[in-house]
Structure 1
């Protein structure tokens, strides 16, 4: 089940405001260009920020997400219906014959169990054409991002269009490696409503990710640094081999 930050009807529409500039998406636009891809699968597309950029560049795009509230926001960004939006997850993907599948931001880390992660990779494998590619990022465990999160309890207040002032803060609630849990809290100043969203990410090291890719029909071509966050993330670039 997706976290409330993506699935709640009052939280999904304000997600983009607090997510800020998405410089990280340039990496995936460049990879799609580099490969000469025609059809891109954006798994965990959320509010559709990358999918819309891709379709504007002329790619055929399928965006998939388990949170209907986020997909409603995404569809509003795509009034002409150029993106194919699917409500679901990787395990229920049809054979799309896609050239490239991507998972941006924290998507690859929300699969907490070995079974869920393997199921996701198998679903992506089935959705790609033979020789298709998979690109995704994951935070480097050694960088210990959760320490930065815990050290920054500041409250941020944004005036969100159509909503009014909304206050957000974050706290780390559990560190039980490889799992790290945290909570976002939102206060809507217009009516005083307070909503929380609890999330957990799994921090996999490079060897673990590479071995699970190999076990599920992928060959790692390259592990890159994230240009917008050097030294903090791995960007995996793999090819479907079977």
Structure 2
């Protein structure tokens, strides 16, 4: 089940407002150009920010996400229906003959168990053409991002068009490595409703990620830094080998 932050019908429409400028997406636009992709699969596409950018640049894009509420927001950004939107998960994709699959915004960390991660990698493998590429990011465990989250109790209030003022705050609820859980809370000032979303993440180190990629038919070509978050992320670029 996807977290309420992306699946609840009142939270999905405000996700982009609190997510801010998506400087992280430039990395994936660059990679799509570098590998000469034409057909791109956006896994965990959420509200469709990257998928729409890619279609504007001429790519053929499929976006997949298990959160129907987020896909509804994504479709509204794509009135011409250029993107193929799939409600589901990467483990059950058809053979798409994609040149490139991507997972942005640390989507790779939502797969908590080894079985879920393996199923996802195998699904991606099947959706790619031979020698197709996979690019994704994951937070560096040694950076201990959860410590920053725990010391940032600030409440942010945004006045969102059509919705009104919404207040957001975050707290870390559990650190039991490799799992870290945190909670986003939202107060809608128009009616006082408070909604919460609990989000567990799996922190995998570089060696673990590389070994799982190799075990599931990929060759790691490069591990980069995220230029908008230096020292905080691993950005993996891998190629389907079998």
Do they superpose with TM above 0.5? yes
Distance in 1 between the 2:30 and 2:90 partners? 23
Distance in 1 between the 2:213 and 2:91 partners? 16
Partner of 2:17: 17
Distance in 1 between the 2:118 and 2:88 partners? 17
Aligned pairs, number: 242
SS where residue 29 of structure 1 aligns? Answer: helix
Partner of 1:184: 184
Distance in 1 between the 2:30 and 2:142 partners? 27
Distance in 2 between the 1:204 and 1:106 partners? 11
* Uncovered stretches (5+) of structure 2, i.e. residues with no partner: none
Distance in 2 between the 1:17 and 1:158 partners? 8
Distance in 2 between the 1:103 and 1:224 partners? 15
Distance in 2 between the 1:151 and 1:106 partners? 21
Partner of 1:50: 50
Runs of 4+ with deviation above 2 angstroms: none
1:32-181 map, 5 Å: 32-181=32-181
Partner of 1:238: 238
Distance in 2 between the 1:166 and 1:100 partners? 37
Distance in 2 between the 1:93 and 1:28 partners? 21
Distance in 2 between the 1:106 and 1:14 partners? 19
SS where residue 105 of structure 1 aligns? Answer: coil
Partner of 1:29: 29
* Uncovered stretches (5+) of structure 1, i.e. residues with no partner: none
CA deviation map 1:133-187 (0-9, x unaligned):
0000000000000000001010000001100000000000000000000000000
Distance in 1 between the 2:203 and 2:234 partners? 11
**Root mean square deviation of aligned Cα:** 0.3
SS where residue 220 of structure 1 aligns? Answer: strand
TM-score (norm 1): 1.00
Preserved contact between residue 158 and residue 167 of structure 2 (Cα < 8 Å): yes
Distance in 2 between the 1:94 and 1:13 partners? 28
Pairwise CA distance, 1:92: 1.0
SS where residue 31 of structure 2 aligns? Answer: helix
SS where residue 211 of structure 2 aligns? Answer: helix
Distance in 1 between the 2:229 and 2:65 partners? 25
- Confirm or deny that 1:208 pairs with 2:193: no
Partner of 1:224: 224
Pairwise CA distance, 1:44: 0.1
Distance in 1 between the 2:196 and 2:190 partners? 17
CA deviation map 1:112-137 (0-9, x unaligned):
00000000000000000000000000
TM-score (norm 2): 1.00
